[in-house]
Structure 1
Amino acid sequence: MTQKVPRLRRFVSIPSPATMPLFRLTASALASALTLATAFTAAAPALAAPSAGRFAMVHHLPVDGVAEIIAATPDGRTLVYTSADAGALGLVDISDPARPAHLPRVDVRLGGVGEPTSVAISPDGRYAVVAMRMDDDVANARRGFLRIYDVRNPKEVTHVKDITVGVGPDSLALAGSGKTLRAIVAIEDEETDAKGDATLDGKRPGRIDVVGLQDLYGATSSGLQSIDLVEALKALPGAIYPQDPQAEFVSISPDGRTAAVTLQENNAVALVDLRHPRQARLLRMLSAGTVERKGNADLQRDKEITFKDSFSGRREPDAVTWVSNEVFALANEGDGKKGQDGSLPGGRGFTLMNTRGEVVYETGERTEQHAVQFGHYPDSRSAAKGVEIEGVASARFGGLPHLLVGSERGAFLAVYEVSDPKQPRFVQLLPTGMSPEGITTITRRADGQQLAVTANEGDGSINLYRFHAQGAPVAEPQIAARDADMPWGALSGLTTDGSHLYAVPDNAFGQSRIWRLNMAETTQGRVVIDQVIPLTDNDQPLKVDPEGIARVADGFWIASEGATVDGNELIKVNAAGAVQQRVKLPASVQAKFASAKTSTGYEGVTASADGQTLYMAVQRGYDLGKPQAAILKLHLPTMTWTSALYPLERHSKDAKTYWMGLSEIQLTDDGRLLLLERDKGGGEGRAINAEVKRVYSVNAADVVEGAVLKKTLVKDLRKDHNWLHEKAEGMVLFKGDLWVVNDNDGAGWTRLLNAGKP
């Protein structure tokens, strides 16, 4: 059998009669599952089970547009972020971080042209300096601008002046203060030809611009100083595109004496000496070098996760931040192509490097291992750049230096304590909105609150986290696997045996499976996945699209969604995951659909207490043009099918784009069917468009042939719990409370919410 098993990874334990006494295990099924579970070798050392951290999320805020680079006023009461698609600065009042409030946006375009790429706030909180890219491209070398705004009254921001800089400014940072204030600007000039190559071989090289801002405080400006990078790159061994420097990101050392500027496509870092108050100079050019991963990476996009591959990766850092005056951290995102030597772009982690170019610490596989353990590893990016670490920021929290590391593809913020840069200590992994781009920290508020903030480009949102020196309070538990050898994600259905929860993923994974969630430590802020059951059919891996699961006395019923009507299927498995029965939709039910090609199907299944009757939620109804879903009932002893229609809500902005559907169904002891109804807002549909994330109830007795059911609102997750995730997918009654979980599509934030009594 083992020769026929595909690359399914690390099924490390299965239920036994001792752990699930109500289930009947056949010898053949148990032997099959045990063989599968032991067919794999460990690919990574185990990481410790998660513990409560010191940062806790205090708010997830949707914004109108996107949120990219973000900064805060020194008093920590106002956030300012760039929104390139709107050509605007967004402002948020965070006087109370738990109740942030949007302030009027500022259109920063010049004559309707341009996009803000970065923003920084002066140390006195008086000015916001915005880098503007002016729609330059391969044929148009339009120079960029710095736009200066007075933000002392964030409700009435006023424009002060503009300063012309080089083509395509990307990042900027401010050095000095008052009459010594300067802006250090990464002039990327990322021109792209018809083939998508971001270089013109030196025809328009990027540079670093140092811009005097002293005149804002009554002194004479030092003007614009441009630092050439070509000759230094040509002299750097191994530099990529040495004639075409592309400066990416800027960070100023804590003592203000040095700027570190990444040249991402060139795989280099430039250090700029800022000690002279009016004349900067290039101190040295450093190679970012390569990361070597030996047998501990996943390079296969195959819906399975195993760290067994090897590669050499050019770091190609995006963001940079200083953790001391001698050591800086690089976010090794990667941005190029596979090299002629076989090297790949991106290091899939972060690096601590000193000012001599020596590696102080390399995260190696550890960052991605943590992503796996917390359900944030994007297998869809395994063949590309993995988790793509794009952002880094540093600050002192509770008196200790911390490093915050942001993953664009994994949608997380990894927190490290870096008192010893040679041995950073992993603190916790914080989920963010989709594609965190910018990170900022707030540590000097008058009320003593210390905060971390991410701006999330993918779903248009901002996350705020508060630091708690004595340990963060538990609001919602975080799910994590027992160790990094148990990958998980895309939770699409929940059920329970009264002691544990059981979850299935959709087809984001190759072989279908069931995970067991240990709920014993929810008050400690964690839920641990401690068992995994591979699903098999005739000793072969089962590969379906599970969207619902219902526990019964001798196993589980799985509801698998079909690509078309005839693909919907109920699958009975025993405790070891072996298929016992498969039930397709009968012709009489298939005939109800307006089209046999309709791509709507099962989203949940629930069973009566005696296991004799199943109820299934069909995502949308028989005719997609009507605002209805369908509820099916199957009486197993007689194989009698019954169907009823369920009325769906309609989105207020765009009912077609943000269409409604059902995601889950649960039967209560008092004879109600609870239905999880959601729109397509949130996630890729932008957080601000999330309107309907609700739980309704209908009477199970009303499910009779042809009935149109009457529903009653039970929970409004968007209104009462600020639920902004698109895919509210799983729901279960556990010890009297209603628990809801979202499908994270295989990577990203999995929110497990106790919504209270139904």
Structure 2
Amino acid sequence: MPPFKKSLLSLVAATALTVGLAACGGSDDDTVTQPPASTAPAAAAFAMTAFVPVNGVAEIVAATPDGLTLVYTSADAGTIGLVDITDPAAPKTLPTVDVRKAGVGEPTSVAITPDGKFAIVAVRMGDDVTNANPGLLRVYDLSNKSAVTWVKDITVGIGPDSIALVGSTTTLRAVVAIEDEETLANGDASIPGVRPGRIDVVGLQDLPGYGGTSTGVQSLELVTALKAAAGVNYADDPQPEFVSVRAGTNTAVVSLQENNAVALVDLSDPKTPKLTSVHGTGTVTRTGDADIKKDTEISFTDSFTGRREADAVAWLTDTVFATANEGDTAKGADGVFPGGRGFTLFDTTGKVVYEGGASTELHAVQYGHYPDSRSAAKGVEIEGVATATYGGTPFLFVGSERGGFVEVHRLDSGTTPTYVQMLPTGMSPEGLATITGRADGKQLFVTANEGDGSLNLYQFYPNGPTPNAAEPQIAAKDATIPWGALSGLTTDGTYLYAVPDNAFGQSRIWRLNAADVAKGRITIDKVIPLTLAGAKFNADAEGIAVLADGSFWVAMEGANVAGNELVKVTADGVVTQRVKLSAAIQAKFANANNTTGFEGVTASADGNTLYVALQRGFDITKPFAAVLKYDVPTDTWTSAQYPLEQHSVNPTTYWMGLSEIQLTTDGRLLLIERDKGGGEGRAINAEVKRIYSVPASAVVDGATLTKTLVRDLRKDYRWLHEKAEGMVVFKGDLWVVNDNDGGGWTRMLNTGKL
């Protein structure tokens, strides 16, 4: 794999949680200084306290002022959901609230009034490119969290998106980004459109008990100001995206994502909002430290220039705000990309104060969260930013939609980020919420994850959380070892070894060093590329077994029955033997084009016998997988049926299969059995994530195996990931890891002594 530039390696020290980063590239006016001495303990950090599946998607999330209840939007279900987090480690979901009107409506954002009495929900009302239907702010009474009631509707512009509140009681208003993206039949926005969006400032002073008179809906048009700004897109079609209000100054910053601009609004006069300025957000240039090729290899040696096109925005100080540079248009004729693939700090004059450049994506590489499938598009897609003060120190959170993570930065000077840690999230984190005012003193951070319909809750620890040896975070020793999609595990007693599936172009084996597992981390310190006759070897590796001499057997899943094979490789990764299924075994398949195949391999101590897990068996219409035995000296195959569980709701969509196999020293075969719930199948649909055992001696032709439950990962460890794919007994403990599909949360779990 192409090497990384040495100048970048200093940015990605593998072990410390507090690495100070300088900017890597950026626009010409970037100014970056090294962070000053820390005012918070160096160990101050966050730890996950709960992973919560919810009904529908979870897009935008807000917390009540007391920090005891979360409210999230679910656009696909047309609802808002509530979660009781009185005990953050044991959240309780409450009844959802249908916010549609006559069956129509898509909630896009939610905000809670400062007194916690009302939820204000922005709702799109079926607008698209041909239907200019005005949107609504729907107001709900939160007095009874288990029986939320509707209060009133306020009509606003077409396609409301983000909202934020300013003031209280007799001065309370909502600032609404009226995007009017003129959605096409395929769900994309028409760019440019013919209906310009705007900013609506909506009076809420007349809500029950407030005693004021509403200032109504006051609209701020943006076309003229956009036309006067430099470096913007589609000035005739403003599309406001996200709103952040600075309470101390009553100033709102509103991102105009597709326009590559931000607008500033003065809200200090409760009766008359004023558009004060519009600034283009410019471009980011990365030179030799980017990957812009979707080629199943991660190589940060490319260059590009990208328009920032910010999605979320958040205030850091009275004069400085952060932008999440996601991008939302297309590559231009000038070769400029959409999206800056990072974050930027601006002041209110439009000047860049700090540019994150390559740093965020480099962290994604090191922690296995970089999705190469997005390299040619917008990379990790930074979609969210949020700020708050924890333990007396301000923090900045930067959320990656495609990478499934949040970066945490300290802001010791208020404007210079110091990297602290990476928090894995559920799939596609969209909404970020900070909670710092609870009566019990617990300070929390929350993500709403649209991709798998989940919420992550993290707690702040001023002196650092206790290292979690049972769930260590995996990181490469530096960014020269990109990794992800761990689909199989094995051990030689000292190290762990893992293989990825076909997320990477060249098959490889990674060595995992668990020497620091007590400190909550495992380090990938070596990569072994696989070669055949001197050329790169590429297959869909799903399982691995290490032999006493240091060589490996790797189970490769084929595109059809005949494509399945066992591959033997040396300790240096040279392929020396390839074994296909025998004709007799192949004949057992109901369909020779069956795409289900090898999912794991394990070896006897002498290396003469291999056992292979076959994902869904010989006939995928029947509830059986299969366990195969291969006698190496005689080149003989044997097979037995393995009975599968069935999903209680939809056994066809959430079908069951085997994903890993391990042979124990007492003669049992351990098998991971899992359904398709979790991940893209939504976390709430994860039912069966279990480890069973069968006697290895029972694997004889024609047998139907009897299984015994060893671990229930869903029930006992709240395992909501779809792909529990790696398993190994290491130093007497049974470990499990999931396949993150090449970018996202890799959960490594020690389930304890076998």
Distance 1:614 1:199, change over 3 A: closer
**Residue 49 (structure 1) aligned with residue 14 (structure 2):** yes
Does the residue aligned with 1:645 lie in a helix, a strand or coil? strand
Who is 1:102 aligned against?
Answer: 93
Q: How does 1:455-604 map to 2 (within 5 A)?
A: 455-475=448-468, 476-554=471-549, 555-604=551-600
Number of matched pairs: 722
CA separation in 2, counterparts of 1:147 and 1:498?
Answer: 60
Summarize the alignment of residues 429-468 of structure 1 with structure 2, pairs less than 5 Å apart. Answer: 429-468=422-461
Could you say which residue in structure 2 is the equivalent of 1:400?
393
Q: CA, structure 1 residues 422+444, in 2 after alignment: closer, same or farther (shift >3 Å)?
A: closer
Q: 1:73, 1:79 within 8 Å by CA — same for their partners in 2?
A: yes
1:385 aligns with 2:378: yes
Taking the TM superposition and a 5 Å limit, the aligned residue runs for 1:65-144 are 65-144=56-135
Structure-1 separation of matches of 2:415 and 2:255: 22
Letter in 1 for 2:289: N
What is the identity, as a one-letter code, of the residue corresponding to 2:148? V
User: Which shows bigger deviation, 412-421 or 398-407?
Assistant: 412-421
Of all paired residues, the percent bearing the same amino acid is 67
Q: Which moved more, 1:75-84 or 1:154-163?
A: 154-163
User: For structure 1, which segment, 576-585 or 88-97, has the greater mean C-alpha deviation from structure 2 after superposition?
Assistant: 576-585
The 1:729/1:202 distance shift into structure 2, 3 A limit, reads closer
**TM superposition shift of 1:96:** 0.3
Give 1:119 deviation, angstroms.
0.3
How many Å separate the matches in 1 of 2:601 and 2:193? Answer: 61
Q: What secondary structure is seen at the aligned counterpart in 1 of 2:94?
A: strand
> Post-superposition shift, 1:607?
0.6
- The one-letter code sitting in structure 2 at the alignment partner of 1:458 is G
Amino acid at match of 1:176: G
Q: SS of 1:753's equivalent?
A: strand
The 5 Å alignment of 1:223-302 reads 223-302=216-295
Kindly indicate whether the alpha-carbon contact (under 8 Å) linking 1:316 and 1:333 is maintained by their aligned counterparts in 2.
Answer: yes
**Separation (CA, whole Å) in 2 of partners of 1:404 and 1:41:** 27
1:611 equivalent among 602, 607, 611: 607
Output the CA distance in 1 between the equivalents of 2:385 and 2:479. Answer: 23
Distance 1:333 1:113 in 2: 29
Q: Which moved more, 1:620-629 or 1:314-323?
A: 620-629
Call closer, same or farther: CA 1:438–1:299 in 2, change over 3 Å.
Answer: same
Offset, 1:580: 1.5
CA contact (8 A) 1:55 1:467 kept: yes
Mapping for residues 619-630 of structure 1, pairs under 5 Å: 619-630=615-626
CA contact (8 A) 1:69 1:118 kept: yes
Residue 196 of structure 1: how far off its partner (Å): 7.4
Structure 1 gaps of 5+ residues are 1-7, 11-39
| Structure 2 residue aligned with 1:318 | 311
Alignment of 1:362 with 2:355, yes or no, is yes
| Residue 299 (structure 1) shift | 0.5
Query: In structure 1, how many angstroms separate the alpha carbons of the residues matched to 2:730 and 2:635?
Result: 29
TM-score by length of 1: 0.94
What SS is found at the alignment partner of 1:562? coil
1:689-728 mapped onto 2 (5 Å cutoff): 689-728=685-724
Aligned equivalents of 1:342, 1:753: Cα separation in 2: 44
Structure 1 residue 191 corresponds to structure 2 residue 182: yes
Cα shift at 1:197? 7.0
Q: CA deviation at 1:195?
A: 8.6
Please say if residues 182 and 193 of structure 2, whose CA atoms lie closer than 8 Å, have aligned partners that are also in contact. Answer: no
Rounded to whole Å, the distance in 1 between the matches of 2:508 and 2:6 is 19
Query: More deviation in 177-186 or 368-377?
Result: 177-186
Q: Deviations over 1:281-329 (max 9, x none)?
A: 0111111110011111100000000111111100000000001111000
| Change over 3 Å in CA distance of 1:195–1:756 after alignment to 2 | closer
| Shift of residue 112, structure 1, vs aligned partner | 1.1
Q: CA deviation at 1:201?
A: 5.2
Match of 2:20 in 1: none
Q: Partner of 2:751 in structure 1?
A: 755
Q: Distance in 1 between matches of 2:376 and 2:514?
A: 35
Residue 380 of structure 1 aligns to a residue in which SS? helix
How far residue 70 of structure 1 moved from its aligned partner, in angstroms, is 0.4
Do the aligned partners of 2:325 and 2:382 also contact (CA within 8 Å) in 1?
yes
Correspondent of 1:371 among 364, 385, 401: 364
Q: CA deviation at 1:625?
A: 1.4
What do the CA deviations read for 1:214-265 (whole angstroms, capped 9, x no partner)? Answer: 1121011111110111100011122211111111100001414210000001
After TM superposition, give the deviation of residue 604 of structure 1 in Å.
0.5
Asked if 2 retains the 8 angstrom alpha-carbon contact of 1:43 and 1:308, the reply is no
Asked if the contact 2:542–2:599 (Cα under 8 Å) also holds between the matched residues in 1, the reply is yes
What SS does the aligned partner of 2:286 have? strand
3-state SS of 1:226 partner: strand
Contact 2:433 2:447 in 1 (8 A): yes
Give the Cα–Cα distance (whole angstroms) in 1 for the partners of residues 79 and 356 of structure 2: 36
Q: 1:529: Cα distance to partner?
A: 0.4
- Contact 1:43 1:306 survives alignment (8 Å): no
CA distance in 1, matches of 2:232, 2:591: 58
For the 8 Å contact 2:230–2:279, the answer to whether it is kept is no
Does the alignment pair 1:58 with 2:49?
yes
Q: 1:132 to 1:41 in 2, by over 3 A?
A: closer
Deviations 1:702-730 (A, max 9, x none): 11111111100000000000000000000
Checking the alignment, whether the CA contact within 8 Å between 1:43 and 1:485 is kept in structure 2 is no
Task: State the distance in 2 between where 1:261 and 1:357 align.
Answer: 13
Letter in 2 for 1:260: V
